[in-house]
Amino acid sequence: MDRRKKGYTDAAKIHFPRPWYGEYLREVMDQAIQDLNATVILEKVTDLDLLENGKILVHSPSSVEEFDLVHLCVGHMAYQDPYDLYGNPRYIHNPYPAEEKLQIIPQGSRVGIIGTGLTGLDMMRCLKMLKEDMKIYFVSDTGRFTTVRVHEPALSLQYVTLENLELEKQRQNGFVSLDRMIEWFEKECESLGINLSETIAKFGQGTKEQLERQLIDNEKFGVLQAIIHHMDYYLPNYWLALNEIDKKRYRQEYKGLFELIRTSIPQETVNNLLTWWDSGQVSVFKDMESVTEFPTEFEIGFSGGRKLKVDYLINSTGQNKQIKISKYNSALLNNTLNKRILQPEPFDGVQVTWPDSCAVSQRYGVIENLFVHGQIIEGLQYGNNSAGMLLRHAEEVVRKLVEKM
């Protein structure tokens, strides 16, 4: 689709409101459906079966149909429920679509948002837009926000490159150590004039003071964000070059910080947060330990014995990426796990071959006509929480398939 139709020649660099992006996707989708003469069946798929003739049977409440090939693109996994509140009418477990879900909260309520990530901030903004008189409390284990999305200068990388990765893999039996990757990253920062440890000390805690400071002192930080975002499309290559011990070490020691910088917050949202925080309309509580349910309210417990009462709680703790059969999953996910068509991956989601994206099953081996995309393969396609990465990979998978036909 030609983005210029909308009057934007540099759309890739602009941060559009979400509804516009949604409209754009809808237009692209409608056009593609028309061009391909595709049939759209609006139904929830509940199960799959692999047939002896190699085809895949797709079940929905009103039909069972046989397909030669299936792409599973079911989106994100089930939300976490860390305080076991699922089913409480004052607890919003899955907060999207936000405008619809937040309607149940009356004016004047005390609302707790569990989690300080991008979903939590989205909830804050949506609540303020929908209701004027609302007391908002962020409640979380860390009380830590991420970082401000600042201007990223154009740059090209010298050390953290795919070429270096491939060369090192050839030298080291197909693997690259985490230490080597960190060395490249540090060299990259140094060559671009960034003192990494100083920058991390300055901005790596996600506190109010650090957010305030970033709004005015962000030139170097923009370079750091640019390096990390340059790596985006190759994150799966880096991830899959690590051995299992290094993958664990990365997750324990570095992932939190890396994601804090990568998953940045638009400036407008940070400005809102700081203004409402200063005026007392929003408060932030950390060291959350428990939630006690009462008929008309919740009591939240924090370490040291502090307590807070709220009328409603919104879950913004993100998805549970460790896959297992559970009451929170869709029927489709539970059924395919139960039949071992899909197989959990130790580093989240389910197993696929990379980069072909074919499901890997203990029972059926590599299923060459079942392709899996999206967050559910994040354990292999590290960092795939962006539409761009998913699109690019899907295109690659489909192109290869077409070439084989």
Ligand X SMILES: Cc1cc2nc3c(=O)[nH]c(=O)nc-3n(C[C@H](O)[C@H](O)[C@H](O)COP(=O)(O)OP(=O)(O)OC[C@H]3O[C@@H](n4cnc5c(N)ncnc54)[C@H](O)[C@@H]3O)c2cc1C
Specify the length of the chain in residues.
405
The upper half-sphere exposure of residue 384, i.e. CA atoms within 13 Å in the direction of its Cβ, equals: 26
Residue among 94, 161, 329, 330 that touches ligand X (CB under 6 A): 330
Do the beta carbons of residue 271 and residue 277 sit within 8 Å? Answer: no
Q: Does 45 bind ligand X (CB under 6 A)?
A: yes
Torsion sign (Cα): 224, 229, 235, 238: negative
Residues 352 to 381 in contact with ligand X, rule: CB under 6 A:
373-374
- x-or-dash string of contact with ligand X, 386-405, rule CB under 6 A: xxx-x---------------
Closest to ligand X by CB, 194 or 394: 394
Closest to ligand X by CB, 122 or 293: 122
Query: What phi and psi values does residue 157 have, to the nearest 5 degrees?
Result: -90, 145
Closest to ligand X by CB, 301 or 318: 318
Which range of residues in 70-78, 226-234, 251-259, 310-318 is near ligand X by CB under 6 A? 70-78
- x-or-dash string of contact with ligand X, 110-129, rule CB under 6 A: ------------x-------
- x-or-dash string of contact with ligand X, 331-350, rule CB under 6 A: -x------------------
Closest to ligand X by CB, 169 or 321: 321
Closest to ligand X by CB, 227 or 332: 332
Which is nearest to 258 in space by CA: 153, 185, 208, 191?
185
Residue whose beta carbon is closest to ligand X: 75
Q: Does 74 bind ligand X (CB under 6 A)?
A: yes
Helix (H, G, I), strand (E, B) or coil at 98: helix
Shortest distance, CB of residue 102 to ligand X, whole angstroms?
13
Cα 270 from Cα 288, distance rounded (Å)? 23
Closest to ligand X by CB, 65 or 183: 65
Closest to ligand X by CB, 61 or 305: 61
Helix orientation angle between 196-203 and 219-230, rounded to the nearest 10 degrees: 110
Q: Does 320 bind ligand X (CB under 6 A)?
A: no
Residue among 168, 385, 392, 401 that touches ligand X (CB under 6 A): 385
Helix orientation angle between 178-191 and 196-203, rounded to the nearest 10 degrees: 90
Helix (H, G, I), strand (E, B) or coil at 372: strand
Helical H runs in 37-154? 98-101, 118-130
Closest to ligand X by CB, 263 or 353: 263
How far, CA to CA in Å, does 242 sit from each of 155, 208, 248, 382?
A: 26, 35, 9, 12
Shortest distance, CB of residue 332 to ligand X, whole angstroms?
4
Do the beta carbons of residue 322 and residue 348 sit within 8 Å? Answer: yes
Contacts with ligand X: how many residues (CB under 6 A)? 17
Shortest distance, CB of residue 43 to ligand X, whole angstroms?
7
Shortest distance, CB of residue 117 to ligand X, whole angstroms?
10
Cα 131 from Cα 117, distance rounded (Å)? 21
Residue among 1, 33, 73, 366 that touches ligand X (CB under 6 A): 73
**Burial (Cβ within 10 Å: 0-12, 13-18, ≥19) of residue 336:** buried
What does the binding site for ligand X look like in residue numbers (CB under 6 A)? 44-45, 73-76, 96, 122, 330, 332, 373-374, 385-388, 390
